[in-house]
Amino acid sequence: MKSQDKMRFFEQSEFEDRLRKVKESMYRQGMEVLLVTDPANMNYLTGYDGWSFYVHQGVLVFVDRDEPIWFGRQQDSNGARITTWLHNDNIFGYTDDYVQSNLKHPMDFAADLLKGRGYERKNLGVEMDNYYFTGQCLDTLRADLPHARIINANLLVNWVRLVKSDQEIAYMKMASRIVEKVMQTAIDTIAIGIREGDAAAAVYQAQISGTEEFTGDHSAIFPIMPSGIRTSTAHLSWVDRRYESGDIVLLELSGCKYRYHAPLSRTVMVGQPPKNLEDIAKTVVDGLNQVLDFIKPGVTGEEIEAKWRSAVAGSKVVKESRIGYAYGLNYPPDWGEHTVSLRPGDKNVLQPNMTIHVMPGIWLDEFGFECSEPIYITAKGCETFVNFERKLFVKKGT
């Protein structure tokens, strides 16, 4: 591996700053070592980037050691050499007999790394509710490290990620340029007689080809673009049929650059919109506008939700789920950060450079309506990342 083969998207000082904040949080919570298995958190701390999270892997952060350790499957360790800032002697690949085996588990390998460094009796933080930290991971570590104290460190790194650096905001702006093209492509393509899969194909093409200046990356959630009755729920998408007059199509799409996202939702009506859809669209867009005017540093997640609730009071719009969440760097299956949620009980106070997807999606029994905005908090208010008209888009035709 030559040094010029290394790929870096952030200055070394930024990685050091992130690591320092994580170590401070570990120290406050009494952790001497932290096992990071969330791929976004692994990337955040080391730069590691690869679709290898379908096997167990992780980053070990020690309060009293400068550099973390990356471990993963042997065939991915060159990927760690290429994409991380770590030195070679902190990259450890396990042999293939650990992969999907009944006899050995990759967490045995992680436990051996800790034992070899004298950490087998320390306080070990683990990301208890992360997708890639399974029940088996937990029980294996408990069996291998009976004298360690295992502490729940779920979302510890996610909370550090909440306030973005200017470089991160810059990448999110690149992703936003992409999603503007993606959304316009979707609206332009959807029409009576077009196959839903062809519209989805055009969306994917736009996501990855990006702009003239830069190409895009895969987004952490697939293009959510259901039609008809499938708009009555949140996470269905295209099927093998052609659009017909009367179809409502929800579009929850994202651009992605260097794993930073720009999610955006809009709704398309194919043919003449029913009156109740027009009413709901007007109420939601007005409510969204009021919420965007309200957001500024110092307000809490629950205050924003209350603002929404009062804005739509007396209308037909009922929204029982949260109206937004923090987002940014991520991998499948989610671009949300799982920290701030705009809902009752959320006491988190917004600060400049936090990034939120304000997403008041409405899913009724027969159809849905979506219109959202990705935003960042500024010194005095908030800015939308994306410039895209907020309305119900109507595609007439025969």
Show contacts with a second copy in window 176-215 (CB under 8 A): 195-198, 200-202, 204-210, 214-215
C-beta closer to a second copy: residue 55 or 163? 55
- 83 lies in the site for a second copy, by CB under 8 A: yes
Q: Cα–chain-centroid distance for residue 117?
A: 33
Give the binding range for a second copy (CB under 8 A) out of 21-29, 77-85, 160-168, 295-303: 77-85
- Candidates 5, 66, 89, 166; binder of a second copy (CB under 8 A) is 5
Of 362-391, which residues contact a second copy (CB under 8 A)?
Answer: 363, 365
C-beta closer to a second copy: residue 19 or 76? 76
Rounded-to-integer distance, Cα 350 and Cα 381, Å? 10
C-beta closer to a second copy: residue 19 or 92? 92
Task: Assess contact for 270 and 249: CB atoms under 8 A.
Answer: yes
Give the binding range for a second copy (CB under 8 A) out of 21-29, 60-68, 336-344, 380-388: 336-344
Of 99-118, which residues contact a second copy (CB under 8 A)?
Answer: 99-100, 105
- 348 lies in the site for a second copy, by CB under 8 A: no
Q: Which residues of 326-337 are buried (b: 16+ CB within 10 A; e: fewer)?
A: bbbbbbeeebbb
Give the binding range for a second copy (CB under 8 A) out of 14-22, 121-129, 272-280, 380-388: 121-129
Annotate each residue in 275-304 with x if it binds a second copy (CB under 8 A) or - if it does not, as one string: ------------------------------
- 349 lies in the site for a second copy, by CB under 8 A: no
Contacting residues for 377 by C-beta, under 8 A, at least 6 apart: 295, 296, 297, 350, 351, 352, 353, 354, 355, 356
- 89 lies in the site for a second copy, by CB under 8 A: no
Task: Assess contact for 196 and 240: CB atoms under 8 A.
Answer: yes
Give the binding range for a second copy (CB under 8 A) out of 95-103, 287-295, 370-378, 381-389: 95-103
C-beta closer to a second copy: residue 235 or 396? 235
Task: Assess contact for 268 and 349: CB atoms under 8 A.
Answer: no
C-beta closer to a second copy: residue 134 or 289? 134
Q: CB 273: neighbour CB atoms within 10 A?
A: 20
Rounded-to-integer distance, Cα 106 and Cα 85, Å? 23
- 240 lies in the site for a second copy, by CB under 8 A: yes
C-beta closer to a second copy: residue 78 or 165? 78
Taking each helix axis from N to C end, the angle separating 106-116 and 135-144, rounded to the nearest 10 degrees, works out to 40
- 49 lies in the site for a second copy, by CB under 8 A: yes
- Candidates 169, 234, 299, 306; binder of a second copy (CB under 8 A) is 234
Give the binding range for a second copy (CB under 8 A) out of 265-273, 290-298, 332-340, 386-394: 332-340
Going by C-alpha positions, the residue among 378, 265, 283 that lies closest to residue 324 is 265
Residue 247's identity, in one-letter code, is D
Annotate each residue in 28-47 with x if it binds a second copy (CB under 8 A) or - if it does not, as one string: --------------------
Please count the CA atoms within 13 angstroms of the CA of 211 that sit on its side-chain side.
14
Torsions phi, psi for 254 (to 5 deg): -145, 150
Instruction: Please give the structure tokens belonging to residue 345.
Output: 């009980």
C-beta closer to a second copy: residue 19 or 328? 328
Are β-strands 382-384 and 373-377 bridged in parallel, bridged antiparallel, or unpaired? Answer: antiparallel
- 254 lies in the site for a second copy, by CB under 8 A: no
Rounded-to-integer distance, Cα 295 and Cα 171, Å? 22
Task: Assess contact for 14 and 95: CB atoms under 8 A.
Answer: no
Least distance (Å) between residue 190 CB and a second copy: 14
- Candidates 10, 29, 115, 128; binder of a second copy (CB under 8 A) is 128
Binding residue count for a second copy, defined by CB under 8 A: 87
Q: Which 3 state secondary structure label does DSSP give 92?
A: strand
**What residues form DSSP beta bridges with 73?**
94
Rounded-to-integer distance, Cα 377 and Cα 389, Å? 20
C-beta closer to a second copy: residue 122 or 343? 343
Distances (CA, A) of 41 to 47, 162, 286, 335, 389: 9, 12, 36, 12, 34
Contacting residues for 236 by C-beta, under 8 A, at least 6 apart: 224, 226, 230
Give the binding range for a second copy (CB under 8 A) out of 20-28, 50-58, 114-122, 164-172: 50-58
